[in-house]
Amino acid sequence: MRVKAIWQYGKVYIILLIGLIILSVIGWRAMGQQSFVRTALSGLTLGALYFMVAAGLTIIFGLMDVLNFAHGAMFMIGAYAGWQFYTNPTFLFGLAPLVLALVAGIVVTPLIQPLAMRWAVPARWQRTLRAVVIVVAVILIIVALLGLDVRGLAKTAMVATMVDPLAEATPQEPLAVFWKRPLLFFLAGLLIALAQARPGDRTQVIRSGAAPRAIVALVGFVLLTVAATLTRESGAISVLKMNADARFFLSLAAGALIGAGIGAAIEISLVRPLYVRPTFLILATMGLSFVLRELTQLLWDPLPYAMSRPPLFSQPGKAASILEWFSKHTLTVEIMGVTFPSYRLFIIALGLAMFILLMLVMNYSRLGMTIRAGVQDRDMVEALGINVRRVFTLVFALGAGLAALGGIGAAPFAPVEPVMGDRFQMQGFITVVIGGMGSYSGAAIGALLLGLARAFGDFLALKFSLTPAVSEASTVIIMALVLLLRPAGLFGKKE
């Protein structure tokens, strides 16, 4: 059976390879070398971005059976977070102490769980008590934010696009006023931890070793909160003074980490209670995407912003080859007689690096082994003593982080705007359907096919003066053809 399965996958690869070679020969002869190479490179750029969105979608669905309609919002958040960090990180440094303080309170859940279980709370009141505690936590968060000029912090990036960011004073509150805010967030986190401890529910299982880890996490996050509070202004200025290339790569990491953190919070607060109600879950994630988009418009206005490219990809001139680019860092590179933007080549390399990293994690790490086992038999993984809840949170965070990384990667050549995630989310869903649900290699092949189809469709629409809808329809046509031939997708498995 294993040999047969390998042959089935190998057969798909062989057919796709032969088809791409035939189409490439036809395109080369019909379009000419320059047009073909330029269009193919554009398709690879789109394919890399589609893969970053689709990889997270397919991992989340493969393990958790969750269709996350807020995934495009993670792409958008990554773009805004990375743009903000690269342009002027005052907003992120101003809110970091609050987020860290909230997490510091939440991580004490294993410490208070044994005490909360002993409370004499009738079963009919347990859920009501948890809801009341959460409401009080939300009220504390709202009180902590009263008077804080969040929009003013967010607008520092808008101002920095027009003037020197170092010339603008960072609008941070004095410490004598600000210290109360992280304290209230910490208290809110403690209340959330209490709700997660489920007071009165004596059916819970207390995992060994959880309390010592919680103490270490509590101390670590408290120290980080104090450090972030004391360095709100100096930290932002230090980032602005550092080398622009280093700041850009830090912005990639910042966007991905922020997206992963928000993804973890979404899984814990919104997705986890609705696993048994898949229809409600679809509606909840769809509604969340609208909320995040409206919140983004409130903070940064519904305007498109342009993120400047780092000096590494923006020096005047043209490199005669990729090797020459490493020494000159020019704006463009000549490839097979075609002048192509060097930053787009970076996007292709970033997508390839993400695929390799994901392959290594999924095939050679303990987390990847747990994820693959969970896809096959979730109940058996739980029976082995693995904390499936934690694995689900990590998977959701990983998927959201991949989408956010794609967003910040796209920011230097695509407008940073609230609707940018919607366009890529649709292509991500189509990519997942083509590649097969739960297959990250299928997501890579599907992203490659869609990126090339979209690029060549745009070329044909421009050459024959057709409507742009023709190129958009090409991706749907490919999906329909694949589903007619293989209903489970190219690398999907029949249920």
Give the model confidence (pLDDT) of 278-290 as tens digits.
Answer: 888 888 999 999 9
Cα separation of 305 and 302, whole Å? Answer: 9
| Interval 373-384 mean pLDDT | 69
Q: In terms of residues, how long is the chain? A: 495
Which stretch, 154-168, 216-230, 295-309, 409-423, has highest mean pLDDT? 216-230
| Interval 170-190 mean pLDDT | 88
Note the pLDDT of residue 437: 77
Cα separation of 267 and 389, whole Å? Answer: 10
**pLDDT tier, 1 (very low <50, low <70, confident <90, very high otherwise):** very low
Long-range CB contacts (within 8 A, 24+) of 486-489: 486/12, 488/436, 488/437, 489/432, 489/433, 489/434, 489/435, 489/436, 489/437, 489/439, 489/442, 489/446
Q: How far is CA 474 from CA 41, 299, 304, 452, in A?
A: 18, 36, 27, 10
**pLDDT tier, 9 (very low <50, low <70, confident <90, very high otherwise):** low
Strand partners, 334: 339
Smallest CA-to-CA distance from 296 within 424, 421, 146 is with: 421
**pLDDT tier, 291 (very low <50, low <70, confident <90, very high otherwise):** very high
**pLDDT tier, 68 (very low <50, low <70, confident <90, very high otherwise):** confident
Note the pLDDT of residue 159: 59
The set of residues, in sequence order, having a beta carbon less than 8 Å from that of 411 and lying 6+ positions away, is 79, 82, 83, 307
Higher pLDDT, 157 or 415: 415
Percent with pLDDT over 90 in the chain: 28
Residue pair 450/46 in contact by the 8 Å Cβ criterion: yes
**pLDDT tier, 138 (very low <50, low <70, confident <90, very high otherwise):** very high
| Interval 24-45 mean pLDDT | 86
This prediction has a pTM of 0.89
| Interval 198-214 mean pLDDT | 79
Higher pLDDT, 406 or 6: 406
- Output phi, psi for 339, to 5 deg: -85, 120
**pLDDT tier, 429 (very low <50, low <70, confident <90, very high otherwise):** confident
Strands 330-335 and 315-319, sheet pairing: parallel
Cα separation of 492 and 145, whole Å? Answer: 47
**pLDDT tier, 241 (very low <50, low <70, confident <90, very high otherwise):** confident
Which phi-psi region, left, alpha or beta, contains residue 153 (left: φ > 0; alpha: ψ -120 to 50)?
A: alpha
Note the pLDDT of residue 480: 84
Cα separation of 408 and 86, whole Å? Answer: 10
Which pair of structure tokens corresponds to residue 351? 């997508």
3-state secondary structure of 70: coil
Which phi-psi region, left, alpha or beta, contains residue 465 (left: φ > 0; alpha: ψ -120 to 50)?
A: left
- pLDDT at residue 63 is higher than 80: no
- pLDDT at residue 48 is higher than 60: yes
**pLDDT tier, 73 (very low <50, low <70, confident <90, very high otherwise):** very high
Note the pLDDT of residue 167: 47
Mean pLDDT of the chain: 84
Note the pLDDT of residue 442: 85
264: Cα within 13 Å, side-chain hemisphere = 15
**pLDDT tier, 337 (very low <50, low <70, confident <90, very high otherwise):** confident
